[in-house]
Amino acid sequence: MADSNVPAIELIGVSKSFGPVQANKDIDLVVGKGSIHGIIGENGAGKSTLMSILYGFYHADSGTIKVDGKATTIPDSKSAIAQGIGMVHQHFMLVDPFTVLENVILGAEGGALLKEGVANARRELKRLADEYDMKIDPDAVVGELPVGLQQRVEILKALYRGADVLILDEPTGVLTPAEADHLFRILRVLRDQGKTVLLITHKLREIMDVTDTVSVMRRGEMVASRKTAETSMAELAELMVGRSVLLEVDKPEVEVGKPLLKVNGLNVKDERGVLRVKDVSFEVRAGEVLGIAGVSGNGQSELLAALSGITRAESGTMELSGEKLDLSGKHDAAEMRDKGMSHVPEDRHRMGLINKFAEYENSILGYHREPKYSKGLFLNKDAIRKEANERIEKYDIRPPTTEMTAAKFSGGNQQKIVLAREIECDPDVLLIGQPTRGVDIGAIEYIHNRIMDMRAQGKAVLLVSVELDEIRSLSDRIIVMFDGNVVGERGAEATEQDLGLLMAGVNQEAAE
Amino acid sequence: MSKGQLPRWVDYGLLPALNLLAAFIISGLVVVIIGEDPFEAVKWLVWGALGYGEGIGYTLYYATNFIFTGLAVAVAFHAGLFNIGGEGQAYVGGLGIALVCLAFDRFIPWWVTFPLAVAGGAIFGAAWAFIPAYLQAKRGSHIVITTIMFNFIASALMVYLLSNVLIPQGTMSPSTRNFEAGGQLPLLRNVFTSFDFGQSPVNLAFFLALAVCVVVWLLIWHTKLGYEIRSFGANPDAASYAGISPVRVTVITMLISGGLAGLMGINVVMGEQTRLLLDFAGGAGFVGIAVALMGRGHPVGIILASMLFGLLYQGGAELAFEIPTISRDMIVVIQALVILFAGALEHMFRPAVVAFFDRFSSDTAEA
């Protein structure tokens, strides 16, 4: 048994830069053995870079890494694993058609023939599952497991490889509140059994709930380390952004007008033919934000895609500014835009932006046919750049350049590019999905205020978010989706517990 | 500059140069193995292509073919479509050109026939690309497979037409009759008499090729259609989010691509041969793939890459003539090595160069 006073991980003066950008500046970090240590910071604060150094993806330009008190180098992830460091990535590294067991032994099969390795692995997997209270069927196919269990497989994978230090990168992003609670229980068990857990997150509540100690990063620097019991959410939030954050959104009274968007009996199938939206109807009135709450994957994405004209619905009608449309008919996104509906998509990398296009080219995506952007046969690049520059100023997009490719902007600034494009075209109805996913706190506040501006101007806003806080603070009314159905409607005053139960589908039977 | 990004001159200059150098070193080793002096070979290669007027003429003539087919591949590539069918589209495009010339050459001067022939070549080439494009857009049949198949169909079709339909009575060779003056493009040797182009067939199609480069550049980077093509190629999901129809972009892009390939016949059929003959495309459609890759899909790059391949074609022929042990097949090997390094192994040196520049740029940032 190692001396428990020796920290599991110690970083001294670690720096890393990418070109002129310094991602980590002179970082000191001490992670006590057998503790849950949180690392919190805004997007782009350098958390992921630091963990990548620890896991051998990047090499520090300078500084010392100590594992179990001994200075060491971590040239690659293989070496990290050998030194007892395991990582659970935000996006799982699992082979979907393989079973749990096959995934766990992948890359650690032991020998050319599987038989013996598999038998050993099965024993070991059972032992780990019992020891850490992580029950799982070793023969279940991973692709068929719910996300929470897939994450459990990732954790088991790391433990199977002998990890003593477990790094979890934003582990709750994909989980339901109940699954997240379960994960935290597992983390506590791991800690009690002597494992060390490093939890990277930007969610303050998780830090408060589960960690023993917490370090705050801001702009590549480690600005503070605290015992969790001795700090507060307000203090951490302030440390993260360097100023007090307005967590409450200022929501003035707005006179609600006539319905601008009415959806009736909408059914949507995904590309595999599975019905993902089931007979959904709602309306959004002028000057109103309708929030759609739900754990991701319960039909919200398909709903947005159908409403915005990207995919065709099975059946259902939409009334947009008084005009009736059959959503199972032939519509495309361009037509919906013409009719006064704009759309901030859930995933700006997949849809909202073209990463290798320059900022100004992205600023007209979907609006490139408008006459003001053309000069005869050609695009009027002067006009496009001029307008892009005005928006950069208005939305404080940084760095203020129209020529940089979208990929190089930070998440918050990318979202501002999309938001500027979709708001400045002056729509009647705004569809907005996950407006603040992967966006830092400063930009979150800005984005929330823009949504409130739209509401104040008498627009109809349909907000889809998996962040309950966001839904609750922005919406006038909230509907909850579960398994493709609308399972309930609440006012803005709904409690988190109430919504949480609906989101988990608990009330479904009672409601029917 | 962020990690993994290279300055433009490295991406567009140094990397192709490195690939080319590697191809030449390997080729040199092959030459050494068969017992010849590689430096002597390079000398003949370069001299044969650039050392005298006729050689330059031939180099430009070949380059003209590759510019057309290279542009064809590049335009499709901007939409994320891999058009392997340039060969067949060029071949069928040649038929369109020949039909125009056969119909009009006796009645109107060449400069009236010329635009009609350009239209004929483009329309026939585009039509040949339309079927694979439609199948891809509507039925999901992979365009790589269908365009390859259409090369074979084009080949068979042309054999039939040339040996049964278009062949003049009483002749044995599968080709059309020779066009009269109204179906012949002026050769540069007759236009620029002060420069000695020797007997080389380089003709006005060369300037057509350069003009088409400008048109393609404008199309891709300065029009709405080009914006839609690039959007669809870079991110199909974002394109459908933007209301860009994948079917429309796929079909239109392939029509343009096929049309560009179809123009190749202007150079060969109307310029050099003044008749349509069997297999006139001679693999230029496939060289176009390498040209488009090496030229990074940009018209300027495509012109440079076409010149290089023109040089290899012409210089290679000269080399085989001067050093008989380096046979025609050896030249094909060298060309294949260039295609291999410039096309298939395009990214081989990239990681090393990126690592080098990352270190270099972080050094300067700290200094």
Q: Number of CB pairs < 8 Å for A and B?
A: 84
- Residue labelled with tokens 């704009």: A342
The answer to whether A415 and A345 have CB atoms below 8 angstroms apart is no
Q: How far is CA A462 from the centre of its chain?
A: 19
Which one, of A365, A343, A417, A340, lies nearest residue B239 by Cα?
A: A365
User: Does A245 have pLDDT greater than 80?
Assistant: no
Residue of B215, B219, B235 to mutate, testing the A interface (most A Cβ within 10 Å of its Cβ): B235
A196 beta partners:
A165
Chain A residues closer than 8 Å to B223 by CB: 377-379
- Residue labelled with tokens 């031939």: B58
What is the model's pLDDT at position A272?
72
User: Does B265 have pLDDT greater than 80?
Assistant: yes
Which one, of A315, A296, A307, lies nearest residue A335 by Cα?
A: A307
Handedness of CA B252, B254, B259, B260 (dihedral sign): positive
Tell the burial category of A256 from Cβ atoms under 10 Å away from its Cβ (0-12, 13-18, 19+).
middle
Chain A residues closer than 8 Å to B1 by CB: 19-20
Across A322-331, A341-350, B91-100, B191-200, the highest mean pLDDT is recorded for B91-100
User: Does A174 have pLDDT greater than 60?
Assistant: yes
Q: Tell whether B325 lies on the interface with A, counting CB pairs under 8 A.
A: no
Chain A residues closer than 8 Å to B2 by CB: 18-19, 21, 408
Chain A residues closer than 8 Å to B224 by CB: 368-369, 374, 379
Chain A residues closer than 8 Å to B358 by CB: 18-19
Please indicate whether, in this complex, the C-beta atoms of B242 and A366 are within 8 angstroms of each other: yes
What is the model's pLDDT at position A511?
43
- What's the DSSP call for residue A137? -
The answer to whether A310 and A333 have CB atoms below 8 angstroms apart is yes
Please indicate whether, in this complex, the C-beta atoms of A377 and B244 are within 8 angstroms of each other: no
What is the model's pLDDT at position A477?
95
Residue A172 pLDDT level (bands cut at 50, 70, 90): confident
Burial A445-467 (b: 16+ CB within 10 A, else e): bbbbebbbebbeebbbbbbbbbb
Which one, of A380, A367, A307, lies nearest residue A338 by Cα?
A: A367
Residue A314's identity, in one-letter code, is: E
Q: Tell whether B234 lies on the interface with A, counting CB pairs under 8 A.
A: yes
Query: For the whole model, what pTM was predicted?
Result: 0.77
What is the model's pLDDT at position B362?
55
What is the model's pLDDT at position A1?
40
| Helix/strand/coil percent split, chain B, to 5 | 75, 0, 25
First to last CA, chain A: 57
Residue of A349, A351, A382 to mutate, testing the B interface (most B Cβ within 10 Å of its Cβ): A351
Mean pLDDT of B174-182: 92
CATH class of A9-241: alpha beta
Q: Tell whether B241 lies on the interface with A, counting CB pairs under 8 A.
A: yes
Q: Tell whether A365 lies on the interface with B, counting CB pairs under 8 A.
A: yes
The answer to whether B136 and B150 have CB atoms below 8 angstroms apart is no
**Distance of alpha carbon B348 from alpha carbon B104, whole angstroms:** 51
**Distance of alpha carbon B24 from alpha carbon B297, whole angstroms:** 23
The interface predicted TM-score of the complex, written ipTM, equals: 0.84
Go through the domains of chain B in sequence order and give each one's CATH number: 24-366 (1.10.3470)
User: Does B259 have pLDDT greater than 80?
Assistant: yes
Q: What is the pLDDT of residues A207-223, one digit of tens each?
A: 888 999 999 988 788 99
At residue B171's C-alpha, the angle toward residues B170 and B175, to 5°, is 135
Q: What is the pLDDT of residues B112-153, one digit of tens each?
A: 999 999 999 999 999 999 999 999 999 999 999 999 999 999
Report the residue count for chain B: 367
Distance of residue B238 Cα from the nearest chain A Cα, in angstroms: 4
Average pLDDT, chain B: 91
**Distance of alpha carbon B88 from alpha carbon B130, whole angstroms:** 12
Average pLDDT, chain A: 87
Q: What is the pLDDT of residues A158-169, one digit of tens each?
A: 988 889 999 998
Q: Tell whether B231 lies on the interface with A, counting CB pairs under 8 A.
A: yes
Q: What is the pLDDT of residues A482-509, one digit of tens each?
A: 889 999 999 988 887 788 778 777 654 4
Mean pLDDT of B76-88: 96
What is the model's pLDDT at position B366?
38
At residue A20's C-alpha, the angle toward residues A442 and A24, to 5°, is 60
Portions of chain A given CATH number 3.40.50.300: 9-241, 259-349+427-511
What is the model's pLDDT at position B105?
93
What is the model's pLDDT at position A2?
44
**Distance of alpha carbon A193 from alpha carbon A195, whole angstroms:** 6
Please indicate whether, in this complex, the C-beta atoms of B242 and A310 are within 8 angstroms of each other: no
Q: Which residue of B has its CA nearest to A20?
A: B365
Report the residue count for chain A: 512
Q: Tell whether B164 lies on the interface with A, counting CB pairs under 8 A.
A: no
Q: Tell whether B329 lies on the interface with A, counting CB pairs under 8 A.
A: no
Please indicate whether, in this complex, the C-beta atoms of B240 and A357 are within 8 angstroms of each other: no
What is the model's pLDDT at position A136?
87
What is the model's pLDDT at position B5?
65
Instruction: Output the six-digit token pair for B245.
Output: 């129809």
In sequence order, what are the residues at sequence separation of 6 or more whose Cβ sits closer than 8 angstroms to the Cβ of residue A436?
A415, A443, A444, A447, A448, A465, A467, A470
HSE-CB for B203 with a 13 A CA cutoff: 20
Please indicate whether, in this complex, the C-beta atoms of B362 and A61 are within 8 angstroms of each other: yes
Give the CA-trace dihedral at B270, B276, B278, B284, to 10 degrees: 20
What is the model's pLDDT at position A110?
67
The CATH classification number of A259-349+427-511 equals 3.40.50.300
- B14 against B252, higher pLDDT: B252
Which one, of A271, A254, A292, lies nearest residue A458 by Cα?
A: A254
Please indicate whether, in this complex, the C-beta atoms of B242 and A353 are within 8 angstroms of each other: no
What is the model's pLDDT at position A119?
83
Q: Which residue of A has its CA nearest to B238?
A: A351
Percent of chain A at pLDDT exceeding 90: 47
**Distance of alpha carbon B62 from alpha carbon B67, whole angstroms:** 9
A289 beta partners:
A461
Residue A247 pLDDT level (bands cut at 50, 70, 90): low
**Distance of alpha carbon A460 from alpha carbon A476, whole angstroms:** 11
What is the model's pLDDT at position A13?
93
Listed range (A78-87, A240-249, B246-255) with the worst mean pLDDT: A240-249
Chain A residues closer than 8 Å to B234 by CB: 354-357
Chain A residues closer than 8 Å to B240 by CB: 310, 332-333
User: What is residue A213's three-state secondary structure?
Assistant: strand
Q: What is the pLDDT of residues A139-162, one digit of tens each?
A: 999 988 888 888 889 999 998 888
User: Does B347 have pLDDT greater than 80?
Assistant: no
Q: Tell whether A433 lies on the interface with B, counting CB pairs under 8 A.
A: no
Handedness of CA A161, A164, A165, A166 (dihedral sign): positive
What is the model's pLDDT at position B345?
73
What is the model's pLDDT at position B296?
86
